[in-house]
Structure formats: C-alpha cells, structure tokens
Amino acid sequence: MAKSADSRPPKPARGASAPATTTQAEEHEDELRALQAARGRVDALRTQIRDHDYKYYVLAQPEIGDSQYDALMRELRELEEEFPELLSPDSPTQRVAGQAAEGFAVVEHREPMLSLSNVFDREELFAWEKRMVRLAERDDFTLVCEPKIDGLAISLVYRDGRFERGATRGDGFRGEDITQNLRTIRTLPLVLDADPDTLPAAFEVRGEVYMSKAEFVRLNEQRAEAGEQLYMNPRNTAAGSLRQLDSRITASRRLNLFVYQLGWVEGERPASTHSGSIEWLKSLGFPTNPLTEIFHSTGEVSLFCEAWVERRETLDYEIDGVVVKVDDITTQRVLGAVGREPRWATAWKFPAEQAVTRLREIQVSVGRTGVLTPFAVLEPVFVGGATVSMATLHNLDHIRELDIRAGDDVIVQRAGDVIPQVVGPVLARRKGDPPVFEMPSECPVCGTAVHKDPEQAAYYCPNRNCPTKLARQIEHFTSRGALDIEGFGEQRSAMLVEQGFVTSLADLYDLPARREELLAVEKIGEKTLDALFEGLERSKQQPLHRLLIALGIRHVGSETARALALNFGSMEALRNASLEEIQSVPDVGPIVAEAVHQYFQDPEYQAQVDRLAAAGLRMDEDVSARGGILEGLSIVATGSLEQWSRNQVEELIKRLGGKVSGAVSRKTSFVLAGEGGGSKRDKAEALGVEILDEDEFIQRLRDLGWSEGE
C-alpha cells in the first residue's frame, strides 16, 4: 500500500530566514501548527504500528506486508528525528514489538532482544556502514552474513551444560515461557556436548524456530485428507505450533532451529568475535546455519545479498533477507543501540514479490475513532508464499490518486507473510469505464450519516454508539500502552458489544457483577473470566496518564497524556482547567488543548469519567514526578548503560521530574553518556554541556536524596 503523497505533515523551515514582513509571533505560530500536524500524524502512526505489531507477533495473523510495515516505521522515525520533542520511550521506534500470549508464564529477558534496522539496496547498506565508521572512528570492519530465517525468534538459557528454559522474544523485554514445547524440537540440544566444568555457569543462546517447506506441505496434505482448513504459510504455522498448550501437538509439527547469536554469559565469554562464538556454539552441538559467510567490505556483502534474491527458492525453508553483523564484539559494544535496534547489525530485506489479480470490490471498515477506511476485496492470489484476498486502500485520496476501480486487474505485492499492497491497476486490461469509487454517505455498520473532516482526507461516523467504534475503543482502552488489560481482543470486544454487555467503556467494570450471564456465553469459561476480572481490577491502579491514553481523546498520545497528568496532577484539576490553562502546558498547542477542553466539557464524556472514578480507577498521577529531584532539568541519555536499559533510565528520569530530550542543545542540563555515546557526546563537548557517566549520574541522584529503591 503506497503512502499518499499528502500523508506527511509539512516540515517547518527551521533555521530558514523569514520574509521581512513576517513577525516572530507569526513564525512561532507556523512552527506550532507544523508541530501539531506532526504530532497528529505521529500518534496515528504509533497506533497503527502497535495494532499491526499485535496481529503479527501475538496473534500470528498479520494484515499488511513487511514493505508496508517498514514504510510506516520509516515515516515515524523520520518525523521523530525532525521533531525530537515528539520522541517518547514507548514509541514503536524505541522498543521491540509484541507481548506475552495468554496461557504461558511471562519471562523477563535478562538482556533485551532487539530487532533489526532494514536496508533494501547497496546505497542504503553503504549509508549504514558510513554511520558505523563515523561512530566507531574506524573503517576496518569484518562483517558476518547469514540468511534471515522467516520464523520465530527465541531465547534459550543453559545452566551447567543443560537446557534450562526457553522463551519467545515477546516485546523484547518480556516473552512467553515455551520451554516444554521447545524440548520437542529434536535439533535443540538438551545436554551440551562438553564437560560442564569447561563451560560458563550459565549463558543464553538466541535462535530462530522455523518449519521447512517440505514439512509444511506434509502437514497441509495431512489436514486436507482429514477435511481440515489448510494453513497459510510456514512462518505462521511455526509460530502457532510453538504456542500450543499441548506440547504433543508441537512435537507432531517437526519444527527446526538455527541458533544465530550468543547472548549474555556468566563469566568469561568464549570468543571475542561473533563468528568465533558461533563456532563455539556449533562445537557444543547447536544447529548453526552453514550458509554463514565472512566478508571484509560492504561491496562483497552487497553481492552476497543480491545473489540470495535469486537463490532463496533453492532452500527448503523461507528466508526474507540477509542479516549483516559486525564481527568484533568490542566494536559492537562501542556502537551500541539506538532505540529498538543495534547499530552494529542490519537486515538486507528482499524486494516484495508481485502478482496480478482481480479487484472484486472495494469495501469500508470502521475504526475506533469512527474513521472509515476502504479496503480491497481481491480474487485470491498466491504471492510471496501465501494466498491473499484483501488489502487496505488507506483513504479516498489514495484510491483516486492511483485510479483504482472495482473490476480492475491490479498489481499486488507482498514482502513477508502478510496481506499485500495494491501497487496500482493494470489499465491496459480495464474493460469499459467502471465507476469511480465514492465513500458511502452512511456508516456501513450503524447507518449514521458520514461526515468529512475538512482538514484531512478522513471520512468518519459521528455516532458514539456505533457498535464497531465501541468495540475498537474497548481494544484501545485495554491495550498495553493504555490500561494493559489482557484478553479483550477484537473478537471478545465485538462480542461484548453485540450482546449488550458493554455500551460504554465504563461498563467494563460492571462485568464482574454479570459473571453468570457471561458464563452462559459460548467459549467463555471460568478461568478466562477470572483472568479478565483480575486484569480489570489491576487496571484500577494505573496512573492518570495511562487513563488519559485509554480514553482515546483526539490528538492525545502518550507524551501529551503524561504532560497533562504531571502538570495538573489529578483528573479533577484537568477537568476544571480552562482552555488557556491547558494550552499553557509545555508541548501542548492550541489544537490539542481545544480537543482536551472539548472532551471534558462534553456531558456524555463527563458521565463516563464519573463512572470510571466510581468504579475505583485511579484519578491522579505519581506525586514523585511533580516536584521531583530532577524537576526543571532537561537530560539526554546516550550510549549503552550497565544498570539500566535506555527505556528504563528515561522512565526513571521522568519519574523523578526531569524531562528527557532526544537532542543535545544549549538548554540541555547534562548528558548521561554510556559506552559508545557517539555524536551526542561530541555535540555536548562542543557546546560545553556537562557529561556524566553512569557512576557519576548515580552519585548525582544520591546527592539529591535518591535511593536505589525508588
């Protein structure tokens, strides 16, 4: 799905000289408008990406292709670089996507399992190398390349030479404990081929579980004979197999494994290079990819990657690119990570595969804010390793820009194992003059007259009681970034609305009183209900800013919610605030302030908040953040730290009242610089900004009255 040319907000001409007739106030107003436009787009992108993350990593039921997802991430990253004040620790660019599924214990990863940045051609690979040369101040990198397996990333822990525990990557910090299921994979060594006294006391190995093409064919033939629904592709089938609660089912799927990295080690590492670590793992009996190669230039690497575009079909397993890593581990540590990605590794992604199929019709779906999104219903076509039949079409402007019409033969492309992108129509095959698509005048769900947003391309349903809107609002309200209540996915949220259990968000907290009615609903058992009710009860303790996110107030994302909560301290103060008082909050402009003020002036929303308060939800923010020991300080964190991850230290700074900035300026109070601080450290030195290492930072906090237990 190509992005509309108008999907990005205009960038302000920062630093450009203004016309002589332009006043400073007008320039400031222009910058504010540009910032607010960017803020709205950033919030929309984050919501969209998190939704796709959940469907891909948790449900293994993706809805867009890798190329589309990469485009969304790239646009978000560019906006956050252009407007660093919009960057937040919970942005998808700062963290790894996914979360633990129901039915498995949660495992906290000792070291985060990061994802990889992407390059798509030689030019982008050379740009990646150029950044490393600048940061590491050297250009003699040895690089290790291996095919990128299209499977499920896992963490394996060995203690005293024996397999102790295995977990999925999850969100990079927490995964699912799937130890029993991993034990069924015959290529995974349960006891290592070495004297335990010669091994580290404990260490972690990371790898990828996959299903071979031959096994996928065998399994589908077996299901066809039994009259069962066929699986779509090997990747989703492998992911689903590892999440079976009955390990006997997993064992019957004949999964396979390649290990690709040595993680943390208790004691001395066995090698100083990545390739040496892989050889050590291979000597212990771990399955490593024999196609791994070592190169000494990005030119050689690019030839290797380009060759695999053609050779990929010769393999008995799916790959969607090539992973490129710096071999020297000390250099890896110097380069560190940025957000959710290590700087010392990247993935050369293969181009999307294309096919031509018939566009049967264009239908419209309704989102949680009421926005109507058109999507294509396709004649099923096999492309990129799966049969696909739907693709989103974004909005009316996008459809008209590409001149897509029902009945056209269209080019669809697919990168990865998810729903494709419509590239455009094959005009030479168009028959006659099919009608141009028009957005419906009424909501396809509730029949309410549709409104057009005069400032955007969106059409929306204004009916607050629209069933689909409410179901999507429940999904958002309970999502991890909001009140974090597991179990309210798409199907359950829709069921609760359709059967009248929920007519507003506040009704969720009345569900425990309707236990017997819910037990009468098909597929809802006592254990499921107990888990739902426990989640609802825990959510009452979430701080005010999480509740503000959950309410879905227009233009209010995580950073705005936190700013409002810290400034006003309580829901009551925010509700009673004037428009001017809301707009005076740092980083809250007139558009956002107007949306917040209107929300709390609306009688229906007032009643909803009152009911939530009566249900026992917390209506204030952590007081430690207001008037904290770092209040008034703007702090930049860079490099790799020993005691905290980047997200953890930024959360600590905010909890203590400080402001986290993504860029160094003369207004920066100090820079917390870990190993490999790079360009931010250099800029701080040039500007004369104070630089603290981790020990100095901890001592500064202690001097201000902080203790490690806070």
Catalytic amino acids? Answer: 148
* Cβ-based neighbour number of residue 427 at 10 Å: 9
CB 185 within 8 A of CB 152: no
- Compute the distance between CA of residue 611 and CA of residue 583 in angstroms, rounded to an integer: 27
Q: Which of 546, 364, 362 lies closest to 442, judged by CA?
A: 364
- Compute the distance between CA of residue 231 and CA of residue 220 in angstroms, rounded to an integer: 7
- Name the amino acid, one letter, at 90: D
- Name the amino acid, one letter, at 664: V
* Assigned token pair, 538: 């825990």
Sort strands 337-338 and 353-366 into parallel, antiparallel or unpaired.
unpaired
DSSP 94-158: SS----PPTTS-EEE-SS-----EEE-SHHHHHHHHHHHHHHHT-----EEEEEEE-SEEEEEEE
Question: Counting beta carbons within 10 angstroms of the beta carbon of residue 28, is it exposed (0 to 12), middle (13 to 18) or buried (19 or more)?
Answer: exposed
Measure CA of the first residue to CA of the last residue in the chain; give whole Å.
46
CB 478 within 8 A of CB 580: no
In the DSSP assignment, the letter for residue 55 is I
Ramachandran class of 478: left when φ > 0, alpha when ψ lies in -120 to 50, beta otherwise: alpha
* Assigned token pair, 369: 């804010």
Give Dmax (Cα) for the chain: 80
Q: What value does the CA radius of gyration of the chain take, rounded to a whole number of Å?
A: 26
CB 256 within 8 A of CB 187: yes
In the DSSP assignment, the letter for residue 185 is -
* Assigned token pair, 602: 């609306």
Ramachandran class of 513: left when φ > 0, alpha when ψ lies in -120 to 50, beta otherwise: alpha
Nearby residues of 411 by Cβ (< 8 Å), 6 or more positions away? 354, 355, 356, 422, 423, 424, 425, 426
Element containing residue 380 per DSSP (H, E)? strand 372-383
* Residues belonging to the chain: 710
- Compute the distance between CA of residue 501 and CA of residue 508 in angstroms, rounded to an integer: 8
* Assigned token pair, 689: 């900004």
- Compute the distance between CA of residue 304 and CA of residue 311 in angstroms, rounded to an integer: 10
- Compute the distance between CA of residue 236 and CA of residue 253 in angstroms, rounded to an integer: 12
In the DSSP assignment, the letter for residue 643 is S
Backbone angles phi, psi at 168, to 5 degrees: -75, 165
CB 421 within 8 A of CB 391: yes
Q: Which of 693, 694, 701, 691 lies closest to 656, judged by CA?
A: 701
DSSP 249-284: HHHHT--EEEEEEEEEESSS-S-SBHHHHHHHHHHT
- Compute the distance between CA of residue 615 and CA of residue 545 in angstroms, rounded to an integer: 18
- Compute the distance between CA of residue 14 and CA of residue 89 in angstroms, rounded to an integer: 25
* Assigned token pair, 58: 């948790």
- Compute the distance between CA of residue 594 and CA of residue 40 in angstroms, rounded to an integer: 14
Residue with tokens 């956002």: 592
Q: Which of 123, 102, 109, 111 lies closest to 54, judged by CA?
A: 102
